[in-house]
Amino acid sequence: MTIIRREDVAHKLEDYLHQRLTLAELVDWAEKVMQEGIFDESDLEMLRDIVSRLGLADVRTFGLTWEDCSNYLTRLGYRVNVEVSPPH
């Protein structure tokens, strides 16, 4: 089994924000990781907290907002920048 590290979770969030991953795919990944994954011991609590919340993101009551993604990435040690480009 693969050990899930902060970089793995950050990359999944980045893929979701860049629309390379759908919400359903992100939720499926998170659910699978919660069932089968081994988390990096040095970040165990934080990683489990974030991944478990991602696994519920398809439930209307929980959802997943831009602020949630930004907060998760900050907790993972990343800085979030937004870039908007004009249409081509």
Q: How far apart are CA 70 and CA 88, in angstroms?
A: 27
pLDDT at 39: 96
pLDDT at 19: 94
* Residue ranges, the chain, pLDDT below 50: none
Which positions ≥6 away from 4 have C-beta within 8 Å? 33, 37, 38, 39, 40, 47, 51
pLDDT at 63: 87
Domain assignments of the chain as residue spans, ordered by start: 3-75
Give the residue carrying structure tokens 């998760």. 72
pLDDT in tens, 21-44: 999 999 999 999 999 989 999 999
